[in-house]
Amino acid sequence: MAKYLEVDNSAQAVIARINDAECTPRFRELMVGLIEHLHAYIKEVKLTQAEWEVAIDFLTRTGQTCSEERQEFILLSDTLGVSMLVDAINNRRPANATQTTVLGPFHVAGAPEREMGANISLDGVGESCLFKGRVLDTDGNPVAGARLDVWSDNADGFYDVQQPGIQPKWNNRGIFTTGADGAYHFVGIKPVSYPVPVDGPAGEMLTAMGRHPYRPAHTHLIVTAPGYQKLVTHIFVGDDPYIDSDAVFGVKESLMAPFRKVEGGETLWECPFDIVLAPEA
Amino acid sequence: MAKYLEVDNSAQAVIARINDAECTPRFRELMVGLIEHLHAYIKEVKLTQAEWEVAIDFLTRTGQTCSEERQEFILLSDTLGVSMLVDAINNRRPANATQTTVLGPFHVAGAPEREMGANISLDGVGESCLFKGRVLDTDGNPVAGARLDVWSDNADGFYDVQQPGIQPKWNNRGIFTTGADGAYHFVGIKPVSYPVPVDGPAGEMLTAMGRHPYRPAHTHLIVTAPGYQKLVTHIFVGDDPYIDSDAVFGVKESLMAPFRKVEGGETLWECPFDIVLAPEA
């Protein structure tokens, strides 16, 4: 190997600097792969000096767009399919268990515990929907004491935390716990599709790729029960126009629910969705 | 291909979203390569959710460490060998021409034009050194009217712009223009090695890899002349203890100069270094 960095040996020249005595094996593995891919990429596309400058500026502005209320690097990861890939790698489930998807940036810990059947649409705006189903194990037995933490946007496509002072606190959020039959039901709204924020660098990237920024309508759930793997997922509105082009690649076939119009019921819609938890490893 | 993002098809699922009608061919090429390498990397190292969170936090802090005076993403690029690789790809020179290296963050446009032979060490601190040589073409003919923009750190390892109010403005900086014989000479100091900034994320990465942050001593030059390619390079002190482990991988064999002790001369050292410019393409 040449002694100094040249085009042909560039990744190896950097990797050779890792001091194994002071670097953990895992950090070494992560850095070796990163350096190899980064250098291979730059050589394959023959990155120009001007393009490198654009990349430096883009990454800098992405970091500087982050604040207490906004995480632009997560949005970049989401829109490049990275968040969903990391989720898929780390959350493989049995085929008959409910599959996972991304958490998203709008979960808030500590939502109110509600009585089964309660209405979480505190502003009363939107098309009412009864969500109902059972929490089961992979053998089809009911799971008692399962905790469902649910949240969704409002009828305008915004989460309560995006509109403090406009939406009531904890609007479209609540926690429900199953009884012996594993059943759950609650009233919310049929969620609506909405765009991810496009006024930052991730939005510029979407525009330059000719992509729209919309997420198909979905209700979020985190379901936990002793002895079972934590489930972070969505229920998607299966006939949403964006169902095949989610800006963050969160859709899975098995997570689409039928939203059925109800004639003469207490809600306009109902959404039956059983949840199957995988046992802890 | 599966319709939605899965581990096996993840890169293709993202690439399939590029809208060719609204994306330039070059941006498409850049994004396809980026997405392929990013997804392949994550799968190869089986990135955990916790590691992804560390990466998001690291990138966010790198952007937020940038300011008018500091560019932490460039430092990250430098310390990963990326800046030097981009330089090498874009600045291939004939073997007998002086080779390029990184510009670095401390160049300031508009340094004073000096008479040939002038002393640019305005604070008079450090070991004085006479830099001398000729600017030649690749056939060995002198290049008249070549402009040498030179800069270096001071004896404490800081550039003037790092110590406003401590160092005189334009300390160890100047511009010299060759006459008909192509010769140049000026007095400066023998440069000293110094660490890149380590109080930010790039420093954390160096520490975690067990790497030191030092650059071997060097004097910067930008040499321009009509009809020749712009040369951005360094003259390195060949026997510097860090010469084989430059934190930013800028060293090339051909850029090491002999720094010779002078007995009874006007300077303590002299550094002979001929500069060979490549013709414009």
On whether residue A265 sits in a domain, the answer given is yes
- DSSP-derived letter for residue B16 is T
Compute the distance between CA of residue A77 and CA of residue A205 in angstroms, rounded to an integer. Answer: 12
On whether residue A65 sits in a domain, the answer given is no
Give me the residues of chain A with pLDDT under 50, please. Answer: none
What is the number of structural domains in chain B?
2
Q: Would you say B158 and B126 are in contact if contact means Cβ atoms under 8 Å apart?
A: no
ipTM of the complex, rounded to two decimals: 0.94
Distance (Å) from the alpha carbon of B74 to chain A's nearest alpha carbon: 7
My answer on whether B37 and B86 are in the same domain is no
My answer on whether A145 and A22 are in the same domain is no
Q: Would you say A38 and B36 are in contact if contact means Cβ atoms under 8 Å apart?
A: no
On whether residue A237 sits in a domain, the answer given is yes
On whether residue A57 sits in a domain, the answer given is no
The shortest CB-CB distance from B85 to any of A3, A7, A210 is to A7
Size of interface A-B (CB pairs under 8 A): 206
Tell if the CB–CB gap between B51 and A74 is shorter than 8 Å. no
Residues of chain B with Cβ-Cβ distance to A66 below 8 Å are 60, 63-64
Of A237, A217, A256, nearest to B4 by C-alpha is A256
Which residue of chain B is at minimal alpha-carbon distance from A76?
B56
Cα atoms found within 13 Å of the Cα of residue A2, Cβ hemisphere only? 14
My answer on whether A36 and A94 are in the same domain is no
Residue from B5, B29, B229 whose CB has the most chain A CBs within 10 Å, to mutate = B5
My answer on whether A162 and A236 are in the same domain is yes
Distance (Å) from the alpha carbon of A98 to chain B's nearest alpha carbon: 15
Distance (Å) from the alpha carbon of B208 to chain A's nearest alpha carbon: 6
Which residue of chain B is at minimal alpha-carbon distance from A77?
B56
Residues of chain A with Cβ-Cβ distance to B81 below 8 Å are 5, 10-11, 13-14, 35, 39
Compute the distance between CA of residue A147 and CA of residue A154 in angstroms, rounded to an integer. Answer: 22
Question: Global pTM?
Answer: 0.94
Compute the distance between CA of residue A178 and CA of residue A223 in angstroms, rounded to an integer. Answer: 11
Distance (Å) from the alpha carbon of B276 to chain A's nearest alpha carbon: 20
Compute the distance between CA of residue B234 and CA of residue B84 in angstroms, rounded to an integer. Answer: 13
My answer on whether A40 and A165 are in the same domain is no
**Per residue of chain B (281 residues), what is the pLDDT tens digit?**
568 999 999 999 999 999 999 999 999 999 999 999 999 999 999 999 999 999 999 999 999 999 988 999 999 999 999 999 999 999 999 999 999 999 988 999 999 999 999 999 999 999 999 999 999 999 999 999 999 999 999 999 999 999 999 999 999 999 999 999 999 999 999 999 999 999 999 999 999 999 999 999 999 999 999 999 999 999 999 999 999 999 999 999 999 999 999 999 899 999 999 999 999 98
My answer on whether A24 and A96 are in the same domain is no
Contacts of B22 (CB under 8 A, 6+ apart): A209, A210
Contacts of B69 (CB under 8 A, 6+ apart): none
My answer on whether A35 and A123 are in the same domain is no
pLDDT tens, position by position, A160-208: 999 999 999 999 999 999 999 999 999 999 999 999 999 999 999 999 9
Measured in whole angstroms, how far is the alpha carbon of residue A53 from the centre of its chain? 31
Of B19, B14, B21, nearest to A246 by C-alpha is B14
Residues of chain B with Cβ-Cβ distance to A196 below 8 Å are none
Tell if the CB–CB gap between B33 and A48 is shorter than 8 Å. no
On whether residue B172 sits in a domain, the answer given is yes
Dmax over CA atoms of chain B, in Å, equals: 80
Domain containing residue A200: CATH number: 2.60.130.10
My answer on whether A163 and A238 are in the same domain is yes
My answer on whether B273 and B207 are in the same domain is yes
On whether residue B120 sits in a domain, the answer given is yes
My answer on whether A33 and A81 are in the same domain is no
What is the residue range of A98's domain?
A: 77-277
On whether residue A183 sits in a domain, the answer given is yes
Q: Where are the alpha helices (DSSP H) in chain B?
A: 10-15, 25-45, 49-65, 72-79, 82-90, 201-208
On whether residue B3 sits in a domain, the answer given is no
Of A139, A173, A142, A130, nearest to A268 by C-alpha is A130
- Any idea of the CA torsion for B20, B24, B28, B29, to the nearest 10 degrees? 130
Residues of chain A with Cβ-Cβ distance to B29 below 8 Å are 45
My answer on whether B128 and B252 are in the same domain is yes
- Strand partners of residue A151: A173, A220
Tell if the CB–CB gap between B209 and A17 is shorter than 8 Å. yes
- Strand partners of residue A195: A214
Tell if the CB–CB gap between A59 and B56 is shorter than 8 Å. no
My answer on whether A154 and A260 are in the same domain is yes
* pLDDT of B218: 98
Distance (Å) from the alpha carbon of A81 to chain B's nearest alpha carbon: 6
Q: Would you say A247 and A211 are in contact if contact means Cβ atoms under 8 Å apart?
A: yes
Residues of chain B with Cβ-Cβ distance to A82 below 8 Å are 38-39, 42, 52
- Any idea of the CA torsion for B33, B39, B40, B46, to the nearest 10 degrees? 160
